[in-house]
Amino acid sequence: MDTKDCIRGRRSIRRYTGQSITRETLEQIVALAAYAPSWKNTQVARYTLVTDRALIEKLANECVLGFTHNTAILLNCNVLAVQSIVVKHSGYERDGSFSTAMGTHWESFDAGISAQTFCLAAHELGVGTCILGVFDAKKVAEAVNLPSTQAASCLIAMGYPAENPAAPARKSAGELIRFIGG
């Protein structure tokens, strides 16, 4: 699949078949996600891949702030990727001060770039994903035993697609772009 087809074809998949994702495929996805750019090449994104059904059910039932839509997605997924970031590296100088006025924004920016790269890599390998943002980060960190140097940034439900949703309408380039100058 070429880059344009991968970008145009990737969708948020919320229903999955029961087919297992091999460890080799999961490792390939993470290896590709490692190529995501980051602030000063800090490479702060980390992935905890949860295949334990009991833990996925606990996260679905106790960590999504009562958002039943996310509960249903998690209960149906084959693997749950808990994306975390190493805190206080992206956007910071070596002395601990911020590099820009954007503060901790760069941690989230780098997490987003990495999450999208992860999802595109999964799509390339036939695995569907859905990035979930409604969750209790502290409860998730406790449930998956994240190191104190990391913070949960998003949940990514994964599985082989049991659906093929159509692309939602997109704004035209003309609606999204401004030119200044010649």
Average pLDDT across each block of 10 residues of the chain; the chain has 182 residues. List them in order.
90 95 98 93 94 98 96 97 92 82 85 96 97 97 97 98 92 95 86
Residue 52 bridge partners (DSSP):
none
* Phi and psi, residue 23, nearest 5°: -60, -40
Integer Cα distance of 5 and 133 in angstroms: 26
pLDDT score recorded for residue 86:
92
Assess contact for 36 and 181: CB atoms under 8 A.
no
d(CA 118, CA 124): 10
pLDDT of amino acid 94: 82
Per-residue model confidence (pLDDT) at position 93: 83
Q: What is the pLDDT of residue 40?
A: 85
Residue 65: φ, ψ to 5°:
55, 35
What is the C-alpha separation between 98 and 107, in angstroms, rounded? 11
Q: Please, what is the Cα angle at 140 between 134 and 121, to 5 degrees?
A: 70
**How far apart are the C-alpha atoms of 80 and 67, rounded to whole Å?**
17
3-state class (DSSP) for residue 80? strand
| Cα angle: 170, vertex 134, 47; to 5 degrees | 90
Between the alpha carbon of residue 72 and those of residues 27, 57, 118, 143, 169, the distances in Å are 26, 10, 22, 19, 25
